[in-house]
Structures are given as structure tokens and as C-alpha cells.
Amino acid sequence: MTISSVSTATSTNMLTILAQASQNATQLSVQVETDQATAQIERELQQKIAALPNTADDTLVQVSQSQLKGLQNTFSTVSTRSGQFGTNGNIFTDINKQLAALQTAIASGDSANFDLNLSVAHTDIGNLLVIPPTAPFQPDQVLQIKSNGLAINNSASYDLSTPTGQAAAKADVNNAQQYINQLLATTTSNQVVASSLATGLSNQINFLNQNLQQTLSASQLDVLSQTANLTQLAHNQEHLIQLALGNTTELSSALAKMATITDPPTSPFAVLTNAVGATADSITPTQVSSAVLSILA
């Protein structure tokens, strides 16, 4: 093996090592710069997403929510009243049943059943619910009947064994029946009004709630769309930076090219010889760099 060949082999190995080292350094630098740029873009992306405005009309949403809350509270009150009127209606119906039984006991002079049915009627009155007289409901007079009762005495006060006693008891029971029927009619009317109001309020609540949900959904969809667009733009920026940084490999490429040159110059004179005929305008930076690097051969 000649000295020249040894020198060429040594130069080639040196250039290969330099090319690899340059490539590794470039890749590491590119990776660090890419990571830093990506982290900055992601931070800015999150800030932009967090700053996205709510496209929903905040005033409209607040007013709708306030109206919805008011309607729901009213619906709850009306529903409660409807249940209370229904309970009292059932009780009044049972009181009427006991009063009818009193009429039967009077006709047969049955003092025992008279007092028994009267006791049940008093228990029913005690179970009636006192409902505050609020519009649009009519006063149901429940408080008065709980305070005053049916104005019917026990059988001993009438002496149902005599026609006079039976007539007196019958007159009191008739008055009580008319009174209870009046209270039952008022209570039934109030229950119908409450039921109608509850239905109307329920429809309003559903309509308002649907509009509110549609408004909020449209706003959320718009925010999602803007978020997707911002994210895509950020990713595009990241890819462009990666491509730009990935092209900074000129030194390692030149070294790698010199490592495989077939007939490298062996001296500065050979470099000058290769440049004979070239001018300052015609010679390229690549030729100069290649020539200079080839001196290492």
C-alpha cells in the first residue's frame, strides 16, 4: 500500500467522522429548537382558546335563565296547591258521605250510628289543609269550618226518638250538606284552575328551556369550530418550522460528499490547478468549499 493511498483512506475516514458529528450536532440542535418552538406555539394556542369570546348573548341568556327560574318556582307552587286542593276535595267528598249516613240514622232513630258518623265527619274536618288565599284561587273557607265545625250536635241533643228531634237534626244536617257542597265546589274549581295553570306553565318552561339550550348549543359549537381552526393553524406552524429547521444540514452534506470524492486533490496546488480557467464570477461557493475540504485528502 502506498503512502498516497494511506493518506486518502485516512482523509476519507476523517471526513466521514466529521460529517457524522456535524449531522448529529445539527439534528440535536434542530430537535431542541423544534421542541422550544412547538412548546411556545402550544402555550399561545391555549391562551387563544381560553380567550375565545362566548358568542351567546349574555344578556339574553341571563334574562332567559331568570324567567325560567321564576316560572319553575311558580310551577312548583301551583303544583303544590293543586295537590292540596285535591286532598281537600277528597275530604269534603267523604264528609258528604258521612252527612248522608247521618240522614239515614235520623230517619231510623239510630242514635249510635248518628254519633259514629258525626265523629268521622269531625275527624275529616281536622284533616283538611288550610291553604293561603292567593290569586287566582278563590278563598275556600277551610279555616272557618275547622274553627266552627258543622254546627251539628250529638244525638242526645236532638232526641232522635221523637219527630221533633229528628226534624231538628235533619235541618242541621241539611244546612251542613249545603255548606260542604259549597266548599267542595270552590275547592274543585280551584283545583281545575291550578291544573290549567300548571299545564300552561309547563309548556312555557319547556319552550323557554329549549330556546335557551339552542342558544347555548350554538355558542358551544361556534367555540368548538374556532378552537379547531386555531389548533389546525398552530399545527401548520409547527410543521413549517420543522421543515425549515430540517433543511439546515449544508455542512454535514458537504462533508459527506467529500468523503466519497473519487479523485480528491492532494495539495493546495492541485486545488489551484482545478480552478484554472475559472473566474471570480463563474466559480461557485460549492466549488470553493469542496476544493478546500478536499485538501484534507
Give 61 or 143, the one with higher predicted confidence. 143
Q: Is the peptide bond before 136 cis (omega within 30 degrees of 0)?
A: yes
Mean pLDDT of 35-47: 75
Every domain of the chain and the residues it spans = 60-225
> What is the overall mean pLDDT for the chain?
76
- Are 125 and 177 in contact, with CB atoms under 8 Å apart? no
What would the pLDDT profile of 195-225 be if each residue is shown by its tens digit? Answer: 898 888 888 888 888 887 777 665 555 555 5
Which of 31, 41, 44 is CA-nearest to residue 238?
A: 41
Is 50 exceeded by the pLDDT of residue 11? no
Q: Which three cell numbers stand for residue 219?
A: 355558542
State the pTM of this model.
0.54
Q: What is the pLDDT of residue 281?
A: 53
**Beta carbons within 10 angstroms of residue 133's beta carbon:** 13
Q: Is there a contact between 51 and 230 (Cβ–Cβ < 8 Å)?
A: no
Name the band, by pLDDT with cuts 50, 70 and 90, for residue 297: very low
Rounded CA-CA distance 175/167 in Å is 12
Please name the CATH architecture into which domain 60-225 falls: Up-down Bundle (1.20)
Are residues 287 and 296 in contact, defined by beta-carbon separation less than 8 angstroms?
no
Q: Which residue has the higher pLDDT, 228 or 123?
A: 123
